[in-house]
Amino acid sequence: MKIRRQKKSQKILAFFQSNFALQAPYTVLLDATFCRAALEGKVLIKEQIPKYLGAQTKIVTTQCIILEVEKLSKISSKLYGTWIVVKQFPVHKCGHEGDPVPASFCAKSLLGKNNPGKYIMASQDPELRSHVHQEVVGTPILYLHQSAPTLEKPTKKVYKLSSHEETTLKTLKRKHFGETIQEPPRKKKKAKNPHSLSCKKSKKVKQANQQKTDGKRKRKRHKRKGGAAKDMSRSE
């Protein structure tokens, strides 16, 4: 595997670790759409996912997910292989035992609003992925991009949430420590070296001044030595 891909995945996982308490060993919740894509792309799920995530990984599915694809495989024989793949994985209790629900509904109910089971959702289903993006907090999404396991980048919403937490923390700190803590006053900008070019008076001002002082002080100027005097004499 390319090192760049590995680095990217570790960066995304680190984000979820520090903001949403995701921890290795990971639990990947797999649906049939992912299994189908894996089958088509000849991806060995059990080998390639832990390798990509760089940690021990438990890959699970649910009864509802298996039952849905089993039903569909009876209608479309193309899905038979997918059913064989998905039913190899351990089944997590989803609360719909004996009363199965559609696969995506089951996954959504397991993830809830903030993914208490700390799952990494593995799916190719665009509707499910967008739901996880929009509605579920702290859930990495794994999909196959040209037959390569890929973690989706956290959405802007997730980033905003973590920055929102930061601001809340700041406000809380301010409340607790109140007025006693004051931000250090900003340093005033020091005037730059007066001899620097930027401090030179503009030519117009210089000329105007010169006109005023022409005559009386002319001799004084000639007494001065060094660069400044030279410069003045040049403009005469």
| Footprint on this chain of Zn ion (rule: CB under 5 A) | 62, 64, 94, 96, 106
Nearest distance from C-beta of residue 49 to Zn ion, angstroms: 21
Closest approach of Zn ion to the CB of residue 67, in Å: 9
Residue 91 buriedness (CB in 10 A; 0-12 / 13-18 / 19+): middle
DSSP string, the chain: --HHHHHHHHHHHHHHHHHH---SSEEEEE-HHHHHHHHHTT--HHHHHHHHHTS-EEEEEEHHHHHHHHHHHHH-GGGHHHHHHHTTSPEEP-S-TTS---HHHHHHHHHTTT-TT-EEEE---HHHHHHHHHH-SS--EEEEETTEEEEPPPPHHHHHHHHHHHHHHHHHHHHHHGGG--PPPPPPPPPP-TTSGGGSPPHHHHHHHHHHHTTTTHHHHHH--SHHHHHHHHT-
When the beta carbons of 62 and 124 are compared against Zn ion, the nearer one is 62
Of the pair 72, 161, the CB lying nearest Zn ion is at 72
Task: Name the minimum Å distance from CB 98 to Zn ion.
Answer: 10
Judged by beta carbon, residue 51 or residue 96, the one nearer Zn ion is 96
How near is the Cβ of 159 to Zn ion at its closest, in Å?
A: 31
Nearer CB in complex with Zn ion: 6/109 = 109
The residue among 62 and 82 lying less far from Zn ion, judged by its C-beta, is: 62
Output the smallest distance, CB 89 to Zn ion, in A. Answer: 14
- Least distance between Zn ion and beta carbon 118 (Å): 18
Comparison of 39 and 91: residue with beta carbon closer to Zn ion: 91
